[in-house]
Amino acid sequence: MKRYMIFAVLVCMMCFSAFAQDDVVSIFKMPSARNAAIGGVHITNTDGAGALLNNPAGLVGKKEFGIIEISPSITAPMDRMEDIMDSVETIVDSGDDVDVGAILNLLKNITDDKGRLYVGLNVGAPISLSIVSGGFGFGLFTGAAVDVSFSGVSAKVNADVNAQVNIGYGHRFIETESHTLDVGIGLNAFYRVRASKRISMNDIASFDAESLLPLQGIFGLGMDVGVQYGFKDRLHVAVAANNLFSYARIMDMSDAFGLAGEGYTPFEDKNGESYRSLNVGMDYELLKKTAGFLDLTLMADYRDIFDLFSDIPRNPILNLGIGAELGLFDHIFIRAGLNDMLPALGVGFDLFVCELNFAAYGRELGLDPGVQPVFCMDLGLIFRW
């Protein structure tokens, strides 16, 4: 009876925190070419590091040691990449002689028909330490990201450097010949240095590091919970909540990094919280060592359920992610998926000493399908055993 009470309490906790988020801090997302190729994170189908970051119930039964991961993720309109690089080179070569008119003319060549452009780079590297055994897990992850979005005659620039520590524990509460029920809890602590600024075309010509002030330092704590059910080791269903309870402290670090001038006035430190998400998912192993070498897993998740209750939610269909992974000889993987109602494809290779993964996929930046889709490519080199 106590087992079922614990299960019910966890589900109620997940639902309780759906509302009232002030000064919300975005969560740290470690790029993953494998996840990108199968339509995003599937909470029932993760390795040890993925369980630490997304679903602590997935720690049960896993044993893993990882040390290094290099995972760059590039977002850009690939059909205009040559024009973009030429435009950047022109602006850089112009130095102090560049003017607003020249910038606007260059932007006309690289923006879409609505005057928009989004480019981004997210790199998970170099530390991706994960130690998982006996249901316990510890992880240390680092990464950096920068993105620029143009709209009309202004641009928004975001830059982050992240470090995050995760600890978690998963326990099998029920195990019979056909059924299993796992429950997990995880804690995370992160520190982020962040710069975010909207600048006009007039400011681009004189843009420098001081233009990004204020520089934020964000320290955060969060708690994740997950529940996962298994049937005959082929079907898995899970629900996981990230940052169910959290705390964040947002500080002005401009002076600490020596960027603030004499006339700069720092903002007052303030409290906040990390972005909460509630996800449900399932996977089914359709083929398992068929002919001795063939595996096929199908996956489907509905993500970010809390967003449905936000003031300006995305179209609900965008929260759906589906994926499939075909494994050959346990070393070659062919992947496909659908995320943000856009396709994803990828391949992976287990090279014994490391994993090499590649993905090409789409992302939707708008609130509805087809409003502002962008193309992405991810590459992952992972030393994890």
Residue 146: closest CA among 196, 77, 202 = 196
Helices H, strands E: what count in the chain?
6, 16
pLDDT in tens, the chain (385 residues): 445 444 444 444 444 444 444 578 888 888 999 999 999 999 999 888 899 999 999 999 999 999 888 999 998 776 666 666 766 666 666 655 555 555 666 666 667 667 677 888 899 888 888 999 999 999 999 999 988 887 766 778 888 999 999 999 999 999 999 999 999 999 999 999 988 877 776 666 555 555 566 788 899 999 999 999 999 989 999 999 999 999 999 988 776 666 666 666 677 788 999 999 999 999 999 999 888 899 999 999 999 999 999 999 999 999 999 999 999 999 999 999 999 999 999 999 999 889 999 999 999 989 999 988 889 999 999 998 8
Would you say residue 331 lies in a domain?
A: no
Residue 208 tokens, joined? 């420098």
Would you say residue 318 lies in a domain?
A: no
Would you say residue 149 lies in a domain?
A: yes
Would you say residue 160 lies in a domain?
A: yes
Count structural domains, the chain. Answer: 1
- Provide the b/e sequence for 102-135 (b: ≥16 CB within 10 Å): ebeebbeebbeeeebbbbbbbbbbeebbbbbeeb
Would you say residue 339 lies in a domain?
A: no
> Could you tell me the pTM of the whole model?
0.85
Distance CA 89, CA 83 (A): 10
Among all chains, which residue has been given the structure tokens 């919280």?
273
Would you say residue 89 lies in a domain?
A: no
Would you say residue 64 lies in a domain?
A: yes
Residue 71 tokens, joined? 């995972």
Would you say residue 292 lies in a domain?
A: no
β pairing state of 179-200 and 215-231: antiparallel
Whole domain around residue 230: which residue ranges? 2-77+112-274
Residue 285: closest CA among 50, 44, 62 = 44
DSSP string, 351-367: -SS-EEEEEEEEEE-SS
Residue 47: closest CA among 59, 33, 57, 29 = 59
